[in-house]
Structure 1
Amino acid sequence: MKKLKCYLKEYHPIVHSLIFGTVLISLTSSMSLPFLAIYLSGFKELSFSKIGFIIGVGSLAGTFCGLIGGVLSDFIGRNKLLILSLLGLGVAFIGFISTSNLGLLISFSIVRGVSQAFFGTISKALMADFTPESKRFRMFSNRYFASNLGFAAGPVIGALLGIGGNMIAFVLTSVIYFGYALSLMMMLKSVPNSGSKAEVHDEERIHPSLLWKVLRSDVPLLLFIIGGILLTTVHGQMSVTLSQYLQDHFMDGVTLFALLMSLNGVTVILFQLPLSRWSERYSLFHRILLGCILFACGEIGFAFSSNWALFIVSMFIFTLGEILVIPAEYAQVDEITPNELRGTYYGAQSLNEFGNFLGPWFGGVLLTRYNGTVMFLFMGCVSLVSVYFFFAGKRRYNKKTKSAIDSGKFFA
């Protein structure tokens, strides 16, 4: 009880509200969004590739709109954009179950992707506003843990209640978004000047013109982003095409998929801290290399799994790769980021989300034209190819740093 009281006192109530909301949102959305491909497959006019495109186009829209989230918040304020994004998410989830029209489904997916991108960007910025710099790392770790906690429990609860992936789950998710938007709006109103336009600092703004100049001039950053897009392609297709494959080829495939999604979340919760500490003895590149190898092994496992046990083992291996890759990938970009351009470089890294469009769409194409084995093996190869771009980016950065040091010595 004392530890709980200390934790509650350590952070601002707004921070606690956003972390609790993260658990609530991930819990309900994990009962619906990962099953969206299965739900849409009930419409005969929608092929695997069309379903992949519907889901992926939302991430595509979110990728580019996420870049301007900081700029937009500078004009209308963080609070308003945060509430609008939650309302947009609520509308999108209701929209998914209200129509079978391809155009409308694409529109709702775009609304979901843009709203998700804005909520992710602004909520993190708002949490940082209310948290001292010395406590921000732990605060964001708590947020990541809260997200995985919801995603670990959601699919299992949905499967046990018999609502995983059906209309009730989508309605429940939408209601949670609307309710959370209302409660958060009331809480934010009680905090004077929170999220106002004036509080958005210059270093947090992402300027599209500057972003384009940085991408053209900083080759290591560009190579890291390409590698990141490839990795996100592998990770982004996993839930969408895996759900379609399991539903099509296995009895109780939906239940198996729910189990695998929960296993993914539970594995992150249990192994994130010990595996991260163990990996700190290695360089960032070697962590990425090992993570990509585990990604590939997991995909090979999916390709040749014929029963539940093999899929469970494959998902466990795949998730270990995820634990290694995601933080190392962000840290690799952070390593080359100038302090005065932190917002711009972080904005550039959000281009990785383009893989969340490529993965579901192209994975669906491979699944439609060929089969699951070809799709999984292809994605395994993509994860290994991504290693080259991280290696090349790191090599270019080392040469650039060495040249700058030599130049400094020369002029000294």
Structure 2
Amino acid sequence: MMKQNLRQIHPLAWTIIIGTMFGRLVTSMSIPFLSIYLTSVLGATPTQTGITVAVSSLAGVLVSFYGGYISDRIGRRIVMLISVFGWAGVFFGFSAAQHLWVFFLVNTLNGLCRAVFEPTSRALLSDITPPDHKLLVFNLRYAAINLGVVFGPIIGLQLGSAQSTFPFLIAGIVYIAYGLVLFVQFNTHRTSLPARSTAEAPRLRDALATTGRDRVFLPVLVGTTFCVLGYGHFSSTLAQYLTLSPLFSNGGEIFSYMLSLNAVTVLVVQYPLVRTARHLPPLIPLILGNALVALSMLLFGMAGGMALLMVSVVLFTIGEVLLFTMMDMLIDRIAKPEWKGTYFGTIGFNNFGNVMAPVLGGLLLDQLGAGNGLGIFIPLAVTTAFGLPFLLTAHKRLAARERMNPPAATNSFKV
């Protein structure tokens, strides 16, 4: 049965799934080490590094709301090809950069390319996949992401990613190859691509007004922003802390193992966690996820060796899975069918947490020094936990709403 389902997946979908795996492999062997490289090789302060890392997320947040609309209007093909070859150019830019301002500029372009390519590729997967195969295809894509991240950091460590920009050159070559394969596949399967849309551009003011009136959605948006803030410290603040802290002589190596453990843990726990969490009220998994990410921040600050760091990674990852695999299910549940696109577009503004994380972490490292683990990570844990009262409020309001108007059975995901 599974073999038959796999045969029915569109060739272009397989290209995106396999391309995603190799793309994440080369990205995870280079980008996560950027903050280490800027601090230890370029001599940037933690605050300067934090701002340089944060600009990618900021650019992505500002563009992502319109990303899907752009590909609807001018076509998935042209948007994906321009953005994938542009992304290759970004990685070549990283490999050639020697000054902090160049890294800042190139990382801005990195965020723009990612914010356009990723949602467009997901939209194309949805376009070319029959409804009864969509869950399989999106699960394959998510597994491909994590398979790439399992091996990418280890390869990056061997290539000296924390001390060299050479891995970015390899990433650029891989994205050129990905783009060429996409070009061939688009030309081969041109007739099966969706027609361009004539819909008007989404209005940011209308989206914010609509979602802002929702007494459940608004605390969800604020609460998950703090969740994303905590999540964002893993690849920014933690990476710098391990490199600069006198407790760890090989911080870059430890960080690469932590990245791989994070990806392996996602692969192991995702399915059983989602199977269990789907039976809970929809906000409970997010509340538990927020609490686990906040706890892991505290444990990172307490850790003096590998053992507690690795336990903290596992707790962090369980929290991550609860947060990010259940968030789409929650939005699907609370949004009216005619407003789902607006709700899914607006929830992306919680990525401002990813913008704030490197800056906040960098400021704490600058002010307190990397030798003060608890002094740095207690504030990070507390600010992450700020999401809890908002999520609890949303939970109570949603329960009250659904007592008045029980949700339709068709408005929930099947896992």
User: Normalising by structure 1, what TM-score?
Assistant: 0.91
Of 234-243 and 364-373, deviating more is 364-373
1:352 and 1:215, CA in 2 relative to 1: closer, same or farther beyond 3 A? same
Identify the residue that residue 129 of structure 1 maps to in structure 2: 127
Q: Is the 1:66–1:117 Cα contact (8 Å) retained in structure 2?
A: yes
1:24 to 19, 22, 25: 22
Q: Residue type matched to 2:271 in 1?
A: L
User: Normalising by structure 2, what TM-score?
Assistant: 0.90
Identify the residue that residue 232 of structure 1 maps to in structure 2: 228
Equivalence map 1:372-383=2 (5 Å): 372-383=373-384
Alignment partner of 1:239: what SS?
Answer: coil
Equivalence map 1:170-181=2 (5 Å): 170-181=168-179
Instruction: Provide structure 1 residue ranges, at least 5 long, that are not aligned to the other structure.
Output: 406-412
1:109 and 1:195, CA in 2 relative to 1: closer, same or farther beyond 3 A? farther
Q: How many residues align?
A: 401
Identify the residue that residue 308 of structure 2 maps to in structure 1: 310
Residues 63-113 of structure 1: CA distance to partner in whole angstroms, max 9, x if unpaired?
A: 120000122123321111111111222122222232343433222111111
2:367 to 357, 366, 369: 369
Aligned-residue CA RMSD in angstroms? 2.2
Equivalence map 1:13-412=2 (5 Å): 13-44=11-42, 46-163=44-161, 166-195=164-193, 197-198=195-196, 200=197, 206-249=202-245, 250-371=248-369, 372-400=373-401
Q: Residue type matched to 1:223 in 2?
A: P
Q: Is the 1:292–1:387 Cα contact (8 Å) retained in structure 2?
A: yes
Q: Which ranges of 4 or more aligned residues in structure 1 deviate by more than 4 Å?
A: 161-165, 193-197, 200-203, 398-405
Q: Is the 2:283–2:394 Cα contact (8 Å) retained in structure 1?
A: no
Q: Is the 2:37–2:162 Cα contact (8 Å) retained in structure 1?
A: no
Residues 124-176 of structure 1: CA distance to partner in whole angstroms, max 9, x if unpaired?
A: 00001110112212211111111011101111123245456632211111111
Identify the residue that residue 408 of structure 1 maps to in structure 2: none
Alignment partner of 2:114: what SS?
Answer: helix
C-alpha separation in 1, matches of 2:205 and 2:42:
44
Alignment partner of 1:11: what SS?
Answer: coil
Q: Is the 1:17–1:184 Cα contact (8 Å) retained in structure 2?
A: yes
C-alpha separation in 2, matches of 1:161 and 1:47:
24
Question: How far does residue 207 in structure 1 lie from its aligned partner after superposition?
Answer: 3.8
Alignment partner of 1:218: what SS?
Answer: coil
1:353 and 1:197, CA in 2 relative to 1: closer, same or farther beyond 3 A? farther
C-alpha separation in 2, matches of 1:35 and 1:147:
18
1:21 and 1:113, CA in 2 relative to 1: closer, same or farther beyond 3 A? same
C-alpha separation in 2, matches of 1:94 and 1:374:
38
Q: Is the 1:15–1:130 Cα contact (8 Å) retained in structure 2?
A: yes
